[in-house]
Structure 1
């Protein structure tokens, strides 16, 4: 394992954290990670993170669900076991498609939702029985933690973080 030093700056207010992120980025420091007890609107943009591509995968998963629904209903209701329901014989899929729309919609949503959950957990590396990576348990309650890697600039960075409103600044060994 590689050991490096990082500074953990702890904040107690999300607005102070946002201002601090902007100031730290303006001073050309790289923010390794930020731990928050709830999502902070605009934090990803302030950190300079790339937009997520998860919406594209949700659309693709929905398309897969629509295709599965169409193929499944065509096979079951038209090819495998056609039935005369209410005097309406099943000669083709197109003639019966209006009755299939609710099933198509539900399977589109089902595939999109369930596969997105799996994709999110895999992308976030959050699988069952994984140990937590949270460096300070207070960040699950009411504190915000900014983690910044250091390399010989501890004093300047410490002073900058205190100036931005950090209530606590700690130099720790990071083992990732």
Structure 2
């Protein structure tokens, strides 16, 4: 058998799927992907996926937002067009900083949120007008699909996945 075959095991319950993922990993079969209609808590850990580094990106993006806010307010309110607003001094940024805190906070959140969305789409390779890669339309409604790589063990793997509680097992030729 060639290595471009995969088996699609379809489950109708997330708890059965979790047990099947654990059994499949314990039996040293390679899980290519799991498709679910909603996020399943703990599935990433059960699949052995590395923890995400997106939180680091969020922190960096927040720092960039804070820096942009600080530079923007210093230039606009102190350097370029200083104004006497409510009798507050406009000679230095530090003297006015308490009034700038809300803007600093909002720009930090704005940059972190928007750049995180862009990062997520780029990391997930979700471009505009991209074709869906969902192998079975039922996984958007109420079924769960585990895609397992076949390596000269098609018969054994098919019966193994049936025994894990799969309601349907199909061998698919991947392109």
Q: Which range, TM-score by smaller chain?
A: over 0.9
- Measured against aligned partners, the alpha-carbon deviations of 1:107-154 in whole angstroms (never above 9, x if no partner) come to 000000000000000000001000000000000000000001102101
1:124 is matched with 124
> Contact 2:10/2:167 (CA < 8 Å) preserved in 1?
yes
RMSD of the TM alignment (CA)? 1.1
Question: TM-score, normalized by length of structure 2?
Answer: 0.98
| Equivalent runs, 1:73-152 vs 2, <5 Å | 73-152=73-152
SS in structure 2 at match of 1:32: strand
Q: Which runs of 5+ in 1 are unaligned?
A: none
Question: TM-score, normalized by length of structure 1?
Answer: 0.97
> Contact 2:89/2:95 (CA < 8 Å) preserved in 1?
no
- In the alignment, structure 1 residue 169 sits paired with structure 2 residue 169: yes
Q: Which runs of 5+ in 2 are unaligned?
A: none
Q: Distance in 1 between matches of 2:80 and 2:25?
A: 62
C-alpha deviation, 1:89, in angstroms: 2.4
Q: Distance in 2 between matches of 1:117 and 1:47?
A: 24
How many pairs are equivalent? 174
SS in structure 2 at match of 1:7: strand
